[in-house]
């Protein structure tokens, strides 16, 4: 097994060891037969010792080397490739609304922009014992075990300009739960008497197409 540090200097590793560990960080764990999607700093340190790259190294040292590198190919972010050739044209009006503009004009003070969406199949759980509040010398106590209560759909509408959320849960998603969410905030002020309410949604089946537009406009809103 090779020495883990430069002889005579207890705080430094040879550059070749640094390079080998960075090369390991660039490799996929699956290529090594490991059931990991990504390396962690501790896992890289453990693998480096097992391979004999170094005799001993901490995950903190590995993290410091990787974080200080100018180019970090081991980092990645998920993204979606644009498949619609008219993506920019379609996204433009929505981005303008977030910036407070519509059709080249600033929104009026009474205009409202709401972004709505739903998250289906959220598992509902209930702790088998009540949470105990914090007391002197200890934090709160939360029961580890729980019982399953099925799945729910969470619907939310975010008032972009007022930073206010309106939300609700339903047994499942669909047109009726979505319309109930819209009614929840459209029947109260300031939405009920607002000159214009812009509702931004995705292409989900509950709010897609002309029928959905007609339902919203039928309530006297855009």
**How much is the pTM?**
0.64
SS3 category, 158: strand
Q: Which two tokens stand for residue 152?
A: 């729910």
Q: What is the CATH number of domain 87-122+151-218?
A: 3.30.420.10
pLDDT tens for 69-92 read: 888 888 878 888 888 999 999 999
Residue range 16-39: mean pLDDT, rounded: 87
In percent, the amount of the chain with pLDDT more than 70 equals 93
Q: Are 90 and 84 in contact (CB under 8 A)?
A: yes
Residue 131 has pLDDT above 80, yes or no: yes
- Domain ranges, ordered by start, for the chain: 1-79, 87-122+151-218
Residue 4 has pLDDT above 70, yes or no: no
Residue 11 has pLDDT above 70, yes or no: no
Residues 6+ apart with CB under 8 A from 146: 125, 126, 127, 128
């Amino acid at each position: 097994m090779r020495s883990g540090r430069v002889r005579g200097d207890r705080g430094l590793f040879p550059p070749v060891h640094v390079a080998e560990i960075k090369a390991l960080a660039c490799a996929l764990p699956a290529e090594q037969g490991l059931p990991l999607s990504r390396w962690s700093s501790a896992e890289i340190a453990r693998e480096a010792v097992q391979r004999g790259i170094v005799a001993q190294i901490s995950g903190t040292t590995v993290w410091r080397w990787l974080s200080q590198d100018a180019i970090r190919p081991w980092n990645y972010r998920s993204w979606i490739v644009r498949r619609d050739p008219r993506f920019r044209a379609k996204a433009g009006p929505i981005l303008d609304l977030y910036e407070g503009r519509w059709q080249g004009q600033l929104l009026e003070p009474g205009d409202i922009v709401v972004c709505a969406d739903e998250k289906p199949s959220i598992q509902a759980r209930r702790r088998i014992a009540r949470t105990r509040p914090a007391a002197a010398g200890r934090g709160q106590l939360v029961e580890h075990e729980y019982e399953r209560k099925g799945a729910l759909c969470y619907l939310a509408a975010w008032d972009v300009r007022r930073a206010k959320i309106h939300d609700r849960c339903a047994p499942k998603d669909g047109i009726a739960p979505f319309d109930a969410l819209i009614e929840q905030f459209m029947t109260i002020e300031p939405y009920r008497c607002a000159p214009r309410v812009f509702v931004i949604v995705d292409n989900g089946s509950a709010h897609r197409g002309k029928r959905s537009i007609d339902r919203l406009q039928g309530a006297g809103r855009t």
